[in-house]
Amino acid sequence: MNKIVLLSAIVISSLSACKKGDTAQPILAQTFEINSTSSTEWKYFSFDSNDTITVADPANSNAWDIAFQRYRIKTNGGKSGNGSGSATNSYQHGQTGFDALKIVSDTATFVSDDSTKIAIQESYAYYIVNPVLYTWFSLEFASEGTQIIPSDYIYIIKTATGKYAKVWFKSYYSPENVSGYVTFQYKYQPDGSKNLE
């Protein structure tokens, strides 16, 4: 009986020691491809759900965080929604930059959605998008037509509920080379902290 009591005490003591020394668990990187081929409909994405969602009233819903329409991206804030959505460019690049960006800086400046001048064919039109996220690509003119080339920047997005995700937009084309398929890698911090590891 004494051996059982002693063993139980050791187990409890070990568990307590582990609990005291616990640090935050690392968050996992996710990769998602979104079909944003429509020029008229927006596709809404939720970091909490790690998926696209259907939103009946986007302007008054906190269920979505970012939305896509072709190469245009908006966040749930400013003129796009009533959430806390906004974005900032870390100016880090590629996988190295994605891995190096470990925390949201207290000095980061987040920008909400606004009316932004966007090139359409050979003219311009104004769309309500996130102006920071409009820098996620550049246009390259080639013999086979205009190509969208990702800028390779790592962005930090503030979600509708004020949480954070770091996002790397990697491609605008499907494996079959169809345009309007945006692939992005991200790490989302669900606990509301600024830790992005």
pLDDT, tens digit, 9 for 90 and up, residues 143-178: 777 889 999 999 999 999 999 999 999 999 999 999
**In the prediction, which pLDDT does 3 show?**
44
Model pLDDT, residue 139: 84
In percent, the amount of the chain with pLDDT more than 90 equals 76
Inform me whether the pLDDT recorded for 54 exceeds 70: yes
In this structure, the number of other CB atoms found within 10 A of the CB of residue 121 comes to 7
Please give the model's pTM, rounded to 2 decimal places. 0.85
- Written in H, E and C, the secondary structure of the chain is CHHHHHHHHHHHHHHHHHHHHCCCCCCCCEEEEEECCCCCCCEEEECCCCEEECCCCHHHCCCCCEEEECCEEEECCCCCCCCCCEEEEEEEEHHHHHHHCCECCCCCCCECCEEEEEEECCEEEEEEECCCHHHCEEEEEECCEEEEEECCEEEEEECCCCCEEEEEEEEEECCCCCEEEEEEEEEEECCCCCECC
Query: What integer pLDDT is reported at residue 121 of this predicted model?
Result: 62
CA 117 to each of CA 59, 123, 124, 134, 179: distance values in angstroms, whole numbers, following the listed order: 21, 10, 6, 10, 21
Mean pLDDT of 125-151: 88
Residue 19 is predicted with a pLDDT of 47
From residue 100, alpha-carbon distances to 67, 72, 94, 108 in Å are: 26, 26, 10, 16
**pLDDT per residue over 60-103, tens digit each?**
999 999 999 999 999 999 999 999 999 999 999 999 999 999 99
Is the pLDDT reported for residue 52 higher than 90? Answer: yes
Q: What is the pLDDT of residues 105-125, one digit of tens each?
A: 999 999 999 998 877 666 788
pLDDT score, position 13: 42
pLDDT of residue 26: 83
